[in-house]
Structure 1
Amino acid sequence: MFTCRRKGLLAAACVAGLASGLAATQASAETLADAIALAYDSNPTLQAQRATQRALDESVVQAKAGWRPTLNAQTYYYYRQYRSPGVAAIGQTFDTTKQDYAVLTLSQPVWTGGRVGAAVSAAEADVLQGRENLRRVEGQVIASVIQAYVDVRRDQEALAIREENVKVLQRQLEESKARFDVGEITRTDVAQSEARLAASQALLRSAQAQLAVSRASYAAVVGQNPGDLAPEPSLAPLLPDDVDKAFDVAEQNNAQIRAAEYAADATKARVAEAKADHMPSVSVSGNLVWFTPASPFRTSDATREIVGQATLTVPLYAGGLTSSRVRAQVERDNAARIGIETARRSVLQSVTQSWNQLLAARANISSTAEQVKAAEIAAEGTRQEQQVGLRTTIDVLNAEQELRSAQLSQVSAVHDEYVSSASVLLAMGRLEAANLTPATATYDPKTNFDKLRITWGWVPWEEPIGVADSAFTPKTKEMPREETVTLPAADAAKPEQ
């Protein structure tokens, strides 16, 4: 199946390289929202991160198992042969004992000194950190979809410009040959037209190859080959008015910062867990022992013994091991706290870079629009002036080259502006499926976590034991997030200008 799929992707890429690349394929993502929705449901990187998060949810269940009872059963066969010293070996009779034992042991922790409570708190912080990592991966995948989408559209438009340029230069060459035949121009003018046409054809082949590369990248991240892609919607409704607002939103909503803060909460809880090794613990246990002679085996001879006990364990001396673990965990907590500032500075840098790239791209759009307008007028004027002998063939060729260069610059400027907008949203923490495609059902990691609250092994008395055991341990609380800012339906349907 994988081989067939790979061949299909390669075949589509090759067709894109040889043809114009504008033909639609069946079941293709027609809009950017379609591409994001498809990648959101099927992208392997995102699917793997969700599976990793579900595995991380189990760490809370495993930590809570420290409050739950354990039940073990053992059975064994006992054989003993005894001979007293000094007894004659000949005709000697040995004292032999054979017994079967079965033991059922039930143990219930009552108080662990906060050790289990801190472990549960640390596991909950790990889960919250994992959710932020999932948000970060989701944003990166969506950014890759947007990059691939606009790359394909840019390369399709660039290919169309290259094809039009070849057609214009072919007509120019035909015109030059006709004028050469009647003696209006020299052989040099014809050679200049031929050289420009050959260069344009080479650039056309390069544009076809670049489109094939972009289509392959699109297929890799989205999961299917691109067809006739619709213009991408404007992201302006999701962008702030100024960079200061972008900083404020990123401070509250960026997944990298939030993950670092949850990581610090986890290390703080683990400091308490390490310190709990100094505290006493209380547990109760009971044993049910059943044994009977193995030979001859008779259930009527079975003996049953029930033993119950309460155990108080007080750590007195561990050779400095516990104190060393506490110091090590304190330093890990310090490193995690410093990591929050590292994450803030990294996000600040990302917002600043993306915002300035966005401003530059917007300025380039205005400049290239004026450049294209002026180049069109210049190219048309040069062609008309050539007809009356005021311009040479090389003047016309240069004017055409400047026009195509301006058109390509405009296409690149529009592409860069959209990618920069997405980068700003990614740094702010707004590049999510819920914001871009509100009609798509989103994956909620809390659903799986809530299912694990009562699972196999849960006992009703674990809740009061947990409350008492966690009375003096740090608590992990979920931090508030910015409310969902969705892309309006009207703006989603309107192409980017």
Structure 2
Amino acid sequence: MRAHLRPLALACVLAALPGLAAATDLLQAWQAAQQHDRTLAVARAAHAAAQPQRDQAAALWRPGVALTAAAGVANGETQMHGAQFSAPGMGPTNGANVATSITGGTATRWQLQASQPLYNPQRRAQQEQLRLQADMADLQWQAQQQQAMLRTAQRYLDVAVAQEALRVIDQQHAAVQKAAEEAQERYRVGSAPITDTHEASARLAALRASQVAAQVDLDVKRRLLADATGLPTATLQARLPAAPASELLSTALALEAWQQQAEDGNPGIRLQTLAAEAARAEARKHSLGAAPSVDLVAQAGQERLHGSGAYGTAQNKNLSAMVGVQLTVPLYTGGWRSAKEEESLRLQDKAEAETLSTREQVAQQVQAAWLGLRMGAQRVHALEQAQVASRARLDATQTGHEVGDRTLLDLLNAQNDDAATALALAQARSALLIDHLRLALLAGQLDEARLRAVNQALAPAQ
């Protein structure tokens, strides 16, 4: 219950402080997502479920103790020849015959047995397999955490870009609305043609449609982020990246260095490598199924039968105790062991092939992310220059329109180009940060410190 209240408490604090509801940052979203992201919750439960496998591995070489007991109705008959017989007041008699008979008597039996493995190659392979499976669960959890970080950052920046798209369209709509009113007034006094009014009205109608689409897109993006974080949509006012996030790009390594880091630290590669080792352990376990095993054993027990029979009332009681070494040699399993060994060898080949395939895929993904980061930085720089130029063009066109040197269509086109450039710049900056995080994830280096650096690259809250 406490874990689910934390995102709600965070949302209440944000909503209660003036202006802070518009300043939800990436770290706040991630902290909430750790408690509410369903995919991460599944991964956390799977990781916890795998932890006892290490205890299972250790228990394979610990003593085992078992107690068995039984009671019921039984028949029994014993005959003994050549026994020595003695009784009170009588001397010993040799060569005596002794017989007992019990029909429908009461039988009880118990046995206490303890064993300690001393030599068991198959059990050793099984122990290694369990430890590898626990290590794989640790890697899967680390990978899921990093993927959740990237997923949260992607959804957060999607909201930021969608907000910017709606803001730009609203701003453009207001400018065109003003231009349409001016065109209508100029047409009324006869200083402008009716075409200016029609052009402004057509552009205004198109912008209204764009507003609806942008609002729907923003609502969808906010819903996705709200589902992942548990925060109410009213508090999800994300911040755009600021220009130019150079402190992140300045640490970018050469492609070969990133490839090597991914080869050593990528969770997928490490996980698949462990999966191949686990497959080899499985194959060894079945190949050693025919090997002998040695156990230290100790046991004590009692069997008792009491009742009446052909010779009257009788009672048989047998006590036993033993400490020693037990040798077990599997002789024949009907072909099951060899069939399982063959299956495990084929699965080993499959796991090794998947390891090579994973390495190849990760190398391709690293190259794509690295190129996206490098080319994205150049694109951001170009769009920043384009934004300066489009603003200058818009100012000049506005002035020209006021003095009659530019038409209303020229002004509307300049406004549209300026808005498109501003939105493209916001999208490019967001994509740049995502490529940076994706590259870190591929190298197995995505953590909260890197997420904090990205959070610092966001624009200050307005």
**Considering the TM-score relative to the shorter chain, is it more than 0.5?**
yes
CA-CA distance at 1:257 after TM superposition: 0.6
Matched residues in 2 for 1:399 and 1:245: separation?
44
Match of 2:26 in 1: 32
Out of 151, 164, 169, the residue aligned to residue 162 of structure 1 is 169
Matched residues in 2 for 1:380 and 1:63: separation?
74
CA-CA distance at 1:222 after TM superposition: 2.1
Matched residues in 2 for 1:173 and 1:113: separation?
89
Whether 1:364 and 2:379 are equivalent positions in the alignment is: yes
Q: Which has the larger radius of gyration?
A: 2
Match of 1:255 in 2: 267
Q: How many residues align?
A: 413
Q: Which moved more, 1:341-350 or 1:420-429?
A: 420-429
Match of 1:347 in 2: 362
Out of 184, 201, 205, the residue aligned to residue 208 of structure 2 is 201
Out of 297, 305, 309, the residue aligned to residue 319 of structure 2 is 305
Residue aligned with 1:391, SS: coil
Query: Which letter maps to 2:326?
Result: T
Out of 298, 310, 314, the residue aligned to residue 329 of structure 2 is 314
Q: Mark the CA change 1:492 to 1:399 in structure 2 (over 3 Å): closer, same or farther.
A: closer
Match of 1:50 in 2: 44
Matched residues in 1 for 2:102 and 2:129: separation?
58
Q: Mark the CA change 1:110 to 1:389 in structure 2 (over 3 Å): closer, same or farther.
A: closer
Match of 2:456 in 1: 493
Matched residues in 2 for 1:80 and 1:315: separation?
34
Matched residues in 2 for 1:221 and 1:47: separation?
11
CA-CA distance at 1:77 after TM superposition: 2.7
CA-CA distance at 1:320 after TM superposition: 4.1
CA-CA distance at 1:275 after TM superposition: 2.1
Unaligned runs of 5+ in 1: 9-21, 84-93, 438-486
CA-CA distance at 1:330 after TM superposition: 2.6
Out of 405, 410, 418, the residue aligned to residue 390 of structure 1 is 405
Matched residues in 2 for 1:121 and 1:258: separation?
17
Match of 2:231 in 1: 224
Q: Mark the CA change 1:493 to 1:408 in structure 2 (over 3 Å): closer, same or farther.
A: closer
Asked if the contact 1:53–1:130 (Cα under 8 Å) also holds between the matched residues in 2, the reply is yes
Q: Which moved more, 1:236-245 or 1:258-267?
A: 236-245
Out of 178, 190, 194, the residue aligned to residue 187 of structure 1 is 194
Query: Which letter maps to 1:156?
Result: Q
Residue aligned with 2:192, SS: coil
Q: Which moved more, 1:313-322 or 1:259-268?
A: 313-322
CA-CA distance at 1:253 after TM superposition: 0.8
Asked if the contact 1:166–1:200 (Cα under 8 Å) also holds between the matched residues in 2, the reply is yes
Report Cα offsets for 1:76-105 as digits up to 9, x if no partner: 33324699xxxxxxxxxx963422414133
**TM-score (structure 1 length as normaliser):** 0.75
Residue aligned with 2:71, SS: strand
Match of 1:149 in 2: 156
Matched residues in 1 for 2:413 and 2:23: separation?
39
Residue aligned with 1:315, SS: coil
Asked if the contact 1:286–1:306 (Cα under 8 Å) also holds between the matched residues in 2, the reply is no
Query: Which letter maps to 1:157?
Result: E
Q: Mark the CA change 1:134 to 1:29 in structure 2 (over 3 Å): closer, same or farther.
A: farther
Out of 402, 419, 430, the residue aligned to residue 434 of structure 2 is 419
Q: Mark the CA change 1:239 to 1:122 in structure 2 (over 3 Å): closer, same or farther.
A: farther
Matched residues in 1 for 2:19 and 2:210: separation?
21
Report Cα offsets for 1:422-472 as digits up to 9, x if no partner: 2211211112236435xxxxxxxxxxxxxxxxxxxxxxxxxxxxxxxxxxx
Report Cα offsets for 1:231-270 as digits up to 9, x if no partner: 5585717953221111111111100011111112212222
Q: Mark the CA change 1:191 to 1:230 in structure 2 (over 3 Å): closer, same or farther.
A: closer
Match of 2:345 in 1: 330
Match of 1:129 in 2: 136
Match of 1:448 in 2: none
Matched residues in 2 for 1:388 and 1:237: separation?
45
Matched residues in 1 for 2:238 and 2:204: separation?
30
Matched residues in 2 for 1:346 and 1:29: separation?
38
Query: Which letter maps to 2:420?
Result: S
Query: Which letter maps to 1:331?
Result: R
Q: Which moved more, 1:132-141 or 1:355-364?
A: 355-364
Q: Mark the CA change 1:375 to 1:231 in structure 2 (over 3 Å): closer, same or farther.
A: closer
